[in-house]
């Protein structure tokens, strides 16, 4: 009834239907609070029982319904006192901030209070994956009412490459395309427009003129990267046992005792899709200090890189993190360029700056899981038991290979999963393309490894006309299985 009677217009960020559902949610929350206040005025009387009884009310569970829960047939000797609450190990315990999260009271980085002097940043991004940036013309944007300034690579105080994001002692990519330098993927930041409101900044960003030269055809697939010989310097070899005795089996495509299947597994990329996009709020402080509020999984990387970009000792940079709003690997290093841009902009303007890309910009800038192609050969007997596997993995790293190495390494380490592979050899190669830098997504290397071994088992079952479950049982780990005798690049795998 509320959503039908109340008229709410759409904003530049949210649809009308979403805003109406939000209003209904706030009303529902208000009614629940009224019910809780009413229930809390009543006294709960434990039901008589000869066994231990535990009453759980709204106060100690964080639940909104204010109900009372009674346990019977419990052993008082197993009670565990958690912060005086008398909790038992088999009872669910609510997270301390559950109620704040589900009611919308929880504060995220994007909710950091901004004073009247604060500015909002909006990205201008590259429309070319591989081109030379000649000039950024923000004259028309500067005429938009409320626009204060435009930040480019020229505003970084040290040399042009100081805005390179670093992690694990390696250079990854530029936070913003250097003027005179080359873009590395579509959606890479080119400039940042600063304005009094976020809407104004985003509108002005659309009228910034960017001049490009030497526009080249991008390399986006593994096959294209192979043809262009764009192999990354690192590769990984995973081995267990010895496949040398099986080389003749693979070459002849089988023998009287062993059969061979050969195939390919393709695993595409997936985005992290966290609820809160990348965001940072930078606030200049006295004595040249900088405070950066950031939603990051790697505060140490933000700390180091902001200090580098500003030319400050690290003790003059204060990084603050409350909660992520989702991450899944995308905010490990993906949050760093946003924090750098906010800090550089805040220093230039001398005012707090809030930077958060749109959802589309966030997806284009952050990348996702690496695309992989895995070619395999498996030798097995009539029961479906695997005797040897030989495989090669090709990983699409995007524009930088430093993070994708984890995928290449962990595919080799995780290939066994729940199965006993006595002999296998796997070679992982990494390939550079003109796509956003691929980065860890929940269990890097684990998902494609699981997909690969399960596909191989299905292929074997199909070739033998056996039930897939029977083939899996024939290869399952046993109580005497050895799972640690695998080596990746000559080192024992963890």
pLDDT tens-place string over residues 286-307: 999 999 999 999 999 899 889 9
Q: Is the pLDDT of residue 492 over 70?
A: no
In this prediction, residue 76 carries a pLDDT of 44
- Chain segment 234-243, per-residue pLDDT in tens: 788 889 999 9
- Chain segment 469-486, per-residue pLDDT in tens: 999 999 999 988 876 566
User: Which pLDDT band holds residue 91 (cuts at 50, 70, 90)?
Assistant: confident
Q: CA–CA separation, 131 vs 230, rounded Å?
A: 17
Tell which CATH classification among 3.40.50.300, 3.30.365.10, 3.40.605.10, 1.20.210.10 matches the domain 111-216+273-366. Answer: 3.30.365.10
In the block, which residue shows the tokens 């009872």?
91
Residue of 182, 168, 184, 259 lying closest to 218 (CA atoms): 184
Percent of the chain with pLDDT over 90: 63
Q: CA–CA separation, 32 vs 26, rounded Å?
A: 10
Decide which of 330 and 79 is more confident.
Answer: 330
pTM over 0.85? The answer is no
Please compute, for residue 492, the number of CA atoms within 13 A of its CA located in the half-sphere on the CB side: 5
Q: Is the pLDDT of residue 66 over 70?
A: no
Q: Calculate mean pLDDT across residues 214-233.
A: 96
Q: Is the pLDDT of residue 393 over 80?
A: yes
Q: Is the pLDDT of residue 81 over 70?
A: no
User: Which pLDDT band holds residue 172 (cuts at 50, 70, 90)?
Assistant: confident
Percent of the chain with pLDDT over 70: 84
In this prediction, residue 482 carries a pLDDT of 75
| Sequence ranges of the chain with CATH classification 3.30.365.10 | 111-216+273-366, 222-269+368-492
**Mean pLDDT, the chain, as a whole number?**
86
| CATH code that applies to domain 222-269+368-492 | 3.30.365.10
In this prediction, residue 355 carries a pLDDT of 98
In this prediction, residue 201 carries a pLDDT of 98
Q: Which residues of 118-133 are buried (b: 16+ CB within 10 A; e: fewer)?
A: bbbbbbbbbebbbbbb
Q: Calculate mean pLDDT across residues 49-54.
A: 39
Q: Is the pLDDT of residue 44 over 60?
A: no
Q: Calculate mean pLDDT across residues 362-384.
A: 95
In this prediction, residue 55 carries a pLDDT of 36
Q: CA–CA separation, 310 vs 313, rounded Å?
A: 9
In this prediction, residue 15 carries a pLDDT of 81
Q: Is the pLDDT of residue 456 over 90?
A: yes
Q: Calculate mean pLDDT across residues 271-279.
A: 94
Q: Is the pLDDT of residue 85 over 90?
A: no
């Amino acid at each position: 009834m509320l959503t039908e009677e109340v008229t709410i217009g759409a904003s530049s960020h949210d649809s009308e239907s979403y805003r109406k559902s939000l209003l209904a949610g706030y009303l529902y929350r208000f009614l629940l609070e009224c019910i809780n206040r009413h229930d809390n005025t009543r006294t709960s009387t434990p039901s008589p029982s000869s066994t231990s009884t535990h009453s759980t009310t709204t106060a100690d569970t964080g639940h909104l319904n204010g109900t009372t829960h009674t346990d019977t047939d419990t052993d008082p000797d197993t009670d565990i006192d958690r912060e005086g609450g008398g909790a038992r190990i088999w009872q669910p315990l609510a997270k301390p901030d559950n109620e704040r999260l589900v009611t919308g009271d929880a504060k995220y980085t994007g909710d950091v209070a901004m004073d009247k002097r604060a500015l909002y940043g909006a990205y201008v991004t590259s429309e070319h994956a591989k081109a030379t940036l000649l000039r950024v013309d923000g004259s028309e944007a500067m005429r938009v009412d409320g626009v204060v300034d435009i930040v480019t690579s020229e505003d970084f105080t040290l040399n042009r490459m100081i805005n390179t994001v670093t992690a694990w002692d390696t250079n990854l990519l530029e936070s913003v395309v250097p003027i005179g330098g080359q873009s590395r993927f579509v959606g890479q930041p080119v400039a940042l427009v600063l304005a009094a409101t976020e809407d104004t900044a985003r509108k002005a960003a659309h009228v910034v003129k960017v001049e490009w030269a030497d526009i080249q055809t991008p390399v986006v697939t593994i096959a294209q990267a192979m043809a262009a010989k764009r192999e990354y310097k690192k590769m990984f070899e995973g081995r267990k046992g010895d496949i040398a005795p099986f080389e003749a089996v693979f070459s002849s495509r089988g023998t009287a005792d062993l059969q061979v299947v050969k195939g390919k597994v393709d695993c595409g990329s997936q985005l992290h899709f966290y609820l809160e996009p990348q965001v940072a709020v930078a606030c200049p402080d006295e004595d040249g200090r900088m405070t950066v509020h950031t939603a990051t999984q790697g505060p140490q990387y933000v700390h180091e890189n902001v200090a580098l970009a500003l030319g400050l000792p690290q003790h003059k940079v204060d990084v603050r993190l409350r909660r992520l709003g989702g991450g899944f690997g995308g905010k490990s290093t993906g949050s760093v360029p946003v924090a750098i841009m906010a800090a550089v902009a805040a220093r230039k303007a001398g005012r707090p700056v809030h930077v958060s890309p749109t959802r589309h910009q966030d997806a284009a800038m952050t990348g996702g899981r690496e695309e992989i192609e895995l070619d395999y050969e498996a030798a097995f007997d009539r029961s479906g038991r695997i005797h040897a596997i030989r495989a090669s993995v090709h990983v699409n790293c995007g524009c930088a290979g430093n993070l994708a190495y984890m995928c290449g390494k962990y595919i080799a380490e995780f290939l066994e999963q729940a199965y006993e592979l006595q002999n296998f050899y796997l070679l992982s190669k990494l390939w550079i393309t003109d796509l956003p830098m691929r980065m860890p997504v929940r269990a890097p290397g684990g998902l494609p490894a699981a997909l690969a071994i399960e596909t191989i088992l299905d292929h074997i079952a199909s070739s033998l006309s056996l039930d897939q479950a029977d083939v899996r049982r024939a290869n399952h780990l046993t109580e005497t299985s050895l799972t640690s005798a695998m080596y990746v690049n000559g080192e024992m795998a963890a």
